[in-house]
Amino acid sequence: MATKYHNLSAYNADELPNADVLKRQRFAIAVADWNSEITYALLEGAYDTLVKHGVQEQNIKVVHVPGTFELTYAANKLQQEHSYDAIIAIGCVIQGDTPHFDYICQGVSYGLSKLNAEDFINFSKRKGSVIFSVLTTLTKQQALDRAGGVLGNKGVEGAITAIKMANIDTAL
């Protein structure tokens, strides 16, 4: 469904595991400092949503990286710790006048997708799903609209996705 018709913060809490399950789980959030006005709002949405649903604050690790491209490296390092049920990668790339936007978006999309595929292939040594909470927008206003603005908060969506993926075995 197109985002303009769907609020990113809307979800059915009844579809989530109860707080007793979530209080035992661990999550990591890798957040890009570039476009911090946007990424920190996404971080707040993700962090608050995890806590709201029962994740203990001491079970949430936040790692800052310079930009969105570095999210793949951070997510990979976090996976290697084998400590997290899911890892949320938060970034924001806004299109400019050069092809830089395309290279960054392709690189981070491929990198994070590859980490998930490797996790799936090596399921016996599960390292935690990586959740793509990266905004790729044409304008700053579009990003603001998705970082707590009129379209909700993509960070909230990332946290809900992380919770669901961390518990996918029970859903299958």
Catalytic residues: 100
Q: Give exposure, 75-90, as e/b (b: 16+ Cβ within 10 Å).
A: bbebbeeeebbbbbbb
Alpha helix positions (H), the chain: 19-22, 36-52, 71-80, 100-121, 140-145, 154-166, 168-171
Cα separation values, 10 from 6, 39, 55, 134, 162, Å:
8, 19, 19, 18, 15
Cα separation values, 144 from 17, 46, 51, 126, 139, Å:
30, 15, 23, 34, 9
Dihedral through CA 16, CA 26, CA 76, CA 101, nearest 10? 50
